[in-house]
Amino acid sequence: MTKPGCIIFDCDGVLVDSEVIGVRVLLDMASEYGVTMDLQEAVEEFSGIRLREGIKMLQQKANSPFPDDFEQAFRKRSYEVFKTEMRPVNGIKDILDSLTIPFCVASSGPVEKMKLNLTITGLMPYFEEGNRIFSGYEINSWKPDPGIFLHAAKQMGFSPAECVVIEDSKAGVIAAQRGGFKVYGYAKPFNGNELRKEGATVFYEMKELLNILHLNNAAVQLP
């Protein structure tokens, strides 16, 4: 393949190692209402989808209704856990340090959450110069709808064909495919085949990314 003009990173699970932590907190809270669900199963089920949709799925398994402020309470509790437990994805800092082409982050999550997670993990300096953080909440579009990736590409000044998307979830891969993007799936042991089935080129170690994209001679150059 030719070198891409721009890289669009998903946030949770690609830049920051937050998904398992967040799902664990969510299940702990839901257990107070009679929900029992295996952590691994929940991570697979909720990966890449909007938080509100995940809460709806858990509500269907509950013995009693969740309170109206359940989502707000989750965000507050998870924030406290993230502050002490969240880390950047292994190898991602080396990748970001090595890039010579423009890159950005696009997520279904709120922009405030993205900025918080990037700050906690020390990744914010890579994205704070210019407008390079894009949220589905800004355009009312969430994966698997391709809107967030199309929006990010447009704001960065590139067509979908000039970009690649780095995703770790089925919903994200589907969104990228629908938008006409080449998508690479940063897979976990349990979902590599699923991401491949949806059309992603799968890899398992972040350090592989530069070679896969033919960017292994890169050096820092922020857009």
Q: What is the pLDDT of residues 140-175, one digit of tens each?
A: 999 999 999 999 999 999 999 999 999 999 999 999
pLDDT above 90 for 1: no
Question: Does residue 177 share a domain with residue 148?
Answer: yes
Residue type, position 28, single letter:
D
Residues 48 and 109 in one domain: no
Same domain, 120 and 197: yes
Instruction: Compute the mean pLDDT over every residue in the chain, rounded to the nearest whole number.
Output: 92
Average pLDDT over residues 187-216: 93
pLDDT tier at 219, thresholds 50, 70, 90: very low
The reply to whether 148 and 174 lie within a common domain is: yes
**Residue where one domain finishes, among candidates 34, 69, 85:** 85
Task: Take residue 6 and report the two structure tokens written for it.
Answer: 């721009």
| Single-letter code of the amino acid located at 35 | V
CA angle 147, 220, 181 (to 5 degrees): 25
Higher-confidence residue of 113 and 92: namely: 92
**Mean pLDDT confidence for 33-53:** 87
| Separation of alpha carbons 30 and 34, rounded Å | 7
- In this structure, the answer to whether residues 67 and 91 fall within a common structural domain is no
Residue 46 and residue 28 share a domain = yes
Kindly state whether residues 179 and 132 are assigned to the same domain: yes
CATH code, domain carrying 163 = 3.40.50.1000
53 with 110, same domain: the answer is no
Q: Tally Cβ neighbours within 10 Å of residue 70.
A: 17
User: In this structure, is residue 217 part of a structural domain?
Assistant: no
Q: Is the pLDDT of residue 56 over 80?
A: yes
Residue 44's pLDDT band (cuts 50, 70, 90): confident
Q: Does residue 220 register a pLDDT over 50? A: no
Number of folded domains that form the chain: 2
Average pLDDT for 190-198:
92
Q: Are residues 47 and 108 in the same domain?
A: no
Q: Does residue 175 form part of some domain?
A: yes
- pLDDT bracket for residue 217 (50, 70, 90): low
Domain finish residue from 34, 50, 85: 85
CATH number, domain of 63, equals 1.10.150
Asked whether residue 80 falls in the same domain as residue 128, the answer is: no
Domain span at 180: 6-17+87-212
Q: Does residue 143 fall inside a structural domain?
A: yes
pLDDT in tens, 57-101: 999 999 999 999 999 999 999 989 988 999 999 999 999 999 999
Residue 218: the pLDDT is 45
Same-domain pairing of 46 and 105: no
Would residue 220 count as lying in a domain? no
pLDDT at 89: 97
User: Is 105 a member of any domain?
Assistant: yes
Structure-token pair, residue 14: 């690609």
End-of-domain residue from the set 85, 104, 121: 85
- Among 169, 135, 126, 177, CA closest to 155: 135
Query: With b meaning 16 or more CB within 10 Å and e meaning fewer, what string describes 139-176?
Result: eebbbbbbbbbbbbbeebebebebbbbbbbbbbbbbbb
Residue 195 within any structural domain of the chain? yes
Tell me what the mean pLDDT of segment 100-126 comes to. 95
Q: State whether 56 and 74 are in the same domain.
A: yes
